[in-house]
Structure 1
Amino acid sequence: MIIVNTIKELQTELTSHRQDGKRIGFVPTMGNLHQGHLSLVEVAKRHSDIVVVSLFVNPTQFGPNEDFDSYPRTLDADCDKLKNQGTDIVFAPATDEVYPKWPNITSVHVAKLGKNHCGASRPGHFDGVTTVVSKLFNMVRPDCAVFGEKDFQQISIIRRMVSDLNFPLDIIGAPIVREANGLAMSSRNGYLSTEEKDHASNIYKTLLWAKSEIENGRHDFRQLETEAKQRLTELGFVPDYFNIANQETLALAQEQDSQLVILLAAFMGKVRLIDNIKIK
């Protein structure tokens, strides 16, 4: 495994692999890696010959009152994990390598899909995500890129961006990796104590309850959302949103919709946790 910090170094390494006919897979991350991230590397290895993982905490996707400054940066530990996982290239650029002219005055905006859910709670967040992902795609020029389905809205937006802007690569979704108690793995879980992690598993249990209600014939989606938020509140969470949506459009689901996804965000203390579950 090699570690590069500049776009020039990265492209020099990748040019020789492309000349050899190698397929390039890419996993963009913000570091502080856990088993969920490493599962993305495994998926990328199955779909490519050379795997590139980026480690970059992107400032443009954080709001003014969010945790950009305190977001964990664990480069050495991340590189050890990636080496053990069989990663070929780690791209760990500085902020001014990714954004040489600051502030960035060009951004990528995917309309409609980013309007609700996390987009409503975090204005500008998805513009920051799509802008940095576009830049990283241009730097790496991969044949495929792997994203986790834990952030269902994010991967939906990226898929649409890739389609609309004709990026020549495949987007591959990787299933959510969960703790034994059902809690979706997340870098922000590191802010939780062991007891809090155990209690946070109630988020997934609430998703399973709502999924069961729908599969048993309930279609009063807005009432079901209200009941789910009440359950979370009674369990000590502060719900941000609990939305039953159309999987394709991400619009709030209507009775005739059959491909559904339940999306939620809830605070446990100061920690904001997200999760989702799909329903057919």
Structure 2
Amino acid sequence: MQVFKSAQELSNFYNGVSSLGKSLGFVATMGALHEGHLALAEQSQSENDFTIVSIFVNPTQFNNPEDLEKYPRKDEQDIAMLSAIKVDAVFLPSVEEMYGKEVSSESIDLIGLDKGMEGDYRPGHFQGVATVVRRLLKMIKPTRAYFGEKDYQQLRIIKHVAEIFKLNSEIIGVATQRYPSGLAMSSRNFRLSAQAMDEARIIYQSMQWAKDNYLKYRPQALKEAIIKRFAESSLVLEYVDFADDTDMQKITDWQEAKSVRIYIAALCEGVRLIDNLSIR
């Protein structure tokens, strides 16, 4: 497995793949890899001739400096995990390689996809995501790029960015990988105790309950019922919302929506967890 740290090395790798007429799959990560990341890489391997994974903790998508500081970094372990599943290459750039001397987000028109849910609670987050993903896709030039549906709002934004900048990479969403409890796999879970991991199952349980019962409630009443469930738990609910997959607009009437997805963010032992589930 090759490890690249510069754009020039990436260019040489891409030229080699392209000269062979082969396809290239790409998985963007911020490291601290888990089974969910490996599932993305393995799907890429099954659908492409070559697969490359990036590991880069992107500073411009953190609105909270403390969150950036505490984000787990396990580069050596991550490289070993990717090598074990025979990924072809890893891109491990520095902040300077990605941003130069000015570490800031571009201003990209996200057509309102960044409004609500994470956009409301993490100002500037999606501009940072859009900026770094655009740069990674331009540098790596993959045939296909794979992103988990756990960050569904982010996935919609990345598809938009690839389209408006004509990046010629197919963006593929991959189903969220979960523990038997239903808890979504996340790098942030490394910061949770065993007890907290167990208590955090309320996130998935509440989403599944909403899916099974949403027609019995109007959207606002269903939100209130979920808020009550969390009030009786150890987690601190940050938000629960329902949005349409097509335009990410919040839903106030089930019949007006083309599709329905529930979004939840909550704090567990001070660690911020997010998840979502398609309801209809």
| 1:269 alignment counterpart | 269
1:2-151 equivalence runs, <5 A: 2-104=2-104, 106-151=106-151
Backbone CA RMSD of aligned residues: 1.2
After the TM superposition, which segments of 4 or more aligned residues of structure 1 sit over 2 Å from their partners? 103-109
Query: What is the DSSP-based 3-state SS (H/G/I as helix, E as strand, rest coil) of the residue aligned with 2:172?
Result: strand
| 1:234 alignment counterpart | 232
- Give the direction of change, closer, same or farther, for the CA distance of 1:122–1:67 in structure 2 (3 Å limit): same
Amino acid of the structure 2 residue aligned with 1:8: Q
What is the distance in 2 between the residues matched to 1:126 and 1:106?
10
Q: Where is the helix percentage greater, Structure 1 or Structure 2?
A: 2
What is the distance in 1 between the residues matched to 2:200 and 2:96?
37
Farther off after superposition, 240-249 or 29-38: 240-249
Are 1:251 and 2:249 matched, yes or no? yes
- Deviations 1:222-242 (Å, cap 9, x if unpaired)? 110111012112112111110
Deviation (angstroms), 1:108: 2.7
Deviation (angstroms), 1:252: 1.2
Q: CA contact under 8 A between 1:25 and 1:142: conserved in structure 2? A: yes
Deviation (angstroms), 1:105: 6.2
Give the TM-score of the pair, scaled to structure 1: 0.96
What is the distance in 1 between the residues matched to 2:195 and 2:234?
13
Query: What is the DSSP-based 3-state SS (H/G/I as helix, E as strand, rest coil) of the residue aligned with 2:22?
Result: coil
- Deviations 1:112-168 (Å, cap 9, x if unpaired)? 110100000000000000000000011101111000000111001111222222221
Amino acid of the structure 1 residue aligned with 2:268: M
Q: CA contact under 8 A between 1:183 and 1:203: conserved in structure 2? A: yes
What is the distance in 2 between the residues matched to 1:91 and 1:210?
40
Q: CA contact under 8 A between 1:107 and 1:128: conserved in structure 2? A: no
- Deviations 1:50-88 (Å, cap 9, x if unpaired)? 101000000000013441112111111000100111210
Q: CA contact under 8 A between 1:147 and 1:172: conserved in structure 2? A: yes
Q: CA contact under 8 A between 1:159 and 1:171: conserved in structure 2? A: yes
What is the distance in 1 between the residues matched to 2:107 and 2:135?
10
What is the distance in 2 between the residues matched to 1:67 and 1:45?
32
Deviation (angstroms), 1:258: 4.2
Give the TM-score of the pair, scaled to structure 2: 0.96
Unaligned runs of 5+ in 1: none
Q: How many residues align?
A: 278
- Deviations 1:221-272 (Å, cap 9, x if unpaired)? 0110111012112112111110111111111122312411001101113101
Are 1:152 and 2:152 matched, yes or no? yes
Query: What is the DSSP-based 3-state SS (H/G/I as helix, E as strand, rest coil) of the residue aligned with 1:265?
Result: strand
Q: CA contact under 8 A between 2:106 and 2:127: conserved in structure 1? A: no
Farther off after superposition, 192-201 or 160-169: 160-169
Q: CA contact under 8 A between 2:244 and 2:261: conserved in structure 1? A: yes
Q: CA contact under 8 A between 2:26 and 2:53: conserved in structure 1? A: yes
| 1:221 alignment counterpart | 219
What is the distance in 2 between the residues matched to 1:48 and 1:83?
17
Task: State the identity %.
Answer: 38
Unaligned runs of 5+ in 2: none
Q: CA contact under 8 A between 2:105 and 2:127: conserved in structure 1? A: no
Farther off after superposition, 225-234 or 23-32: 225-234
Query: What is the DSSP-based 3-state SS (H/G/I as helix, E as strand, rest coil) of the residue aligned with 1:52?
Result: strand
Amino acid of the structure 2 residue aligned with 1:49: D
Q: CA contact under 8 A between 1:219 and 1:255: conserved in structure 2? A: no
